[in-house]
Amino acid sequence: MSDGALSQAEIDALLSGVDSSSLGGAAKELSGDDGERKALQKLLNDTCQNQSNALSTMAGSDVILGNPSISFMNRDRLVERLPDMVVAVKADFSSGFPGDHLFIIGEDTAKSLVGMISKEENAELDAMALSMIGEVASQLVGTQITALTKATNNTAIASVSPEATNVPKALVALPSGTFPCVEYDLDLGNGRRQKLWEVYGASVSHAIGIALNGSAAPAKKAAAAVQQPAMAAGTQGMSMPIGGGGMPGMGSANVQAVQFPNLMGQATSQEQANISLIMDVYMEMTVELGRTKKLIKEILGMGEGTIIELDKLAGEPVDILVNHKLIAKGEVVVIDENFGVRVTEIVSPMERMSGMA
């Protein structure tokens, strides 16, 4: 009979909103689609070396991230594996494969990593240290996005700016239901192999798996679609009446000049109707004043009053982007008390296409 005291597992469940009735035994590890698992596993294997190089550059010494192992599990199963205190870094995919995505490392591992980057002993996980861990996650996910873009030809993949928090494991915001979790070996060069976990939402991993397994199919369909209009254009305007009992095109064929359609013509009524279906879809529009590159040590040294020199001259047009793609240029104006931009130039279709490459 219970003495009324709560076990640690029940306390963790209450803190995280998990039904404690499900804690009667260890949760069984769950399995996902084998084809998607293999596709994601190959991608992770291929990116580990580049990720290790990026971490080594940040730390100034060898850091090895390797042996990614994918398991499909639920919240209870993963929480059992985590140390009591962790640093969780939300790095959700915002486009391409939008959805949940995060990294988790133990508190002690995070301190060791921060100490290597900042060259300080006994580093504490203050706001500056957590921003360093966020930059570590940014390097990891950036390398992964580069590999995904190359493998799937999807140039729209992006993630939110990673945000790190130091919390008890029960408070980590994990995806609901069954989700894939990747467990890495992390070698910081101190002779002790540590762990890093990467979690994907189920919908994210499913979409990535489909894209990785079927990346060649869209190219074939696109080639067929190009050939079909070309054949139709080649036969437009040709009249080939069939004589009695003869073969088509034989006898007194009425041959006319081929009339190719205007490639830059106006949209048809059907095309306009199709476009009208998405007229009320919101798209993110941003105005970019300029850009620059800084070393991490310069960024960490910024404070109030720091002046950042951009790559644009005073009076030069600003860039107008839609979903991070350049579409126009303009000049900054003031409307009442708000900033605005007056469009001065629309980027040509060829320039837009080259920007998407």
User: Residue 100 is inside which H or E element, if any?
Assistant: none
Query: Which residue has better confidence, 160 or 19?
Result: 160
* Lowest-pLDDT range of 76-80, 166-170, 216-220, 280-284: 216-220
Residues 186-199: pLDDT tens digits? 998 866 778 999 99
Band of residue 22 on the pLDDT scale cut at 50, 70, 90: very low
Split into its structural domains, the chain has a count of 2
What is the arithmetic mean of pLDDT over 256-283? 61
| For the chain, percent of residues with pLDDT exceeding 70 | 70
* pLDDT, position 227: 45
Residue 83 lies in a domain: yes
* pLDDT, position 325: 85
* pLDDT higher than threshold 70 for residue 269: no
Domain, as residue range, for 287: 281-357
Query: Which residue has better confidence, 273 or 323?
Result: 323
What's the token pair of residue 110?
A: 């995070």
Mean pLDDT, the chain, whole residue set = 77
Residue 351 lies in a domain: yes
Query: Which residue has better confidence, 242 or 146?
Result: 146
Residue 77 lies in a domain: yes
DSSP secondary structure string for all residues of 114-175: HHHHHT-SS----HHHHHHHHHHHHHHHHHHHHHHHHHH--TT-EEPPPEEEEEEGGG--PP
Query: Which residue has better confidence, 161 or 31?
Result: 161
Q: pTM, whole model, 2 decimals?
A: 0.54
Which CATH number is 192's domain given?
Answer: 3.40.1550.10
Scored b (16 or more CB within 10 A) or e, 22-45 reads eeeeebeeeebbeebbebbeebbe
* pLDDT, position 284: 86
52 bridge partner residues: none
* pLDDT higher than threshold 70 for residue 70: yes
288 and 207 housed in the same domain: no
285 and 209 housed in the same domain: no
CA distance 200 to 139: 17
What's the token pair of residue 297?
A: 């040590």
> What three-state secondary structure class fits 228?
helix
What is the arithmetic mean of pLDDT over 59-69? 88
Which distant-in-sequence residues (6+ apart) come within 8 Å of 267 by Cβ? 275
CA 184, 105, 95: angle at the middle one, nearest 5? Answer: 80
Residue 326 CB-density burial (10 A; 0-12 exposed, 13-18 middle, 19+ buried): middle
Nearest to 233 by CA among 257, 255, 249: 257
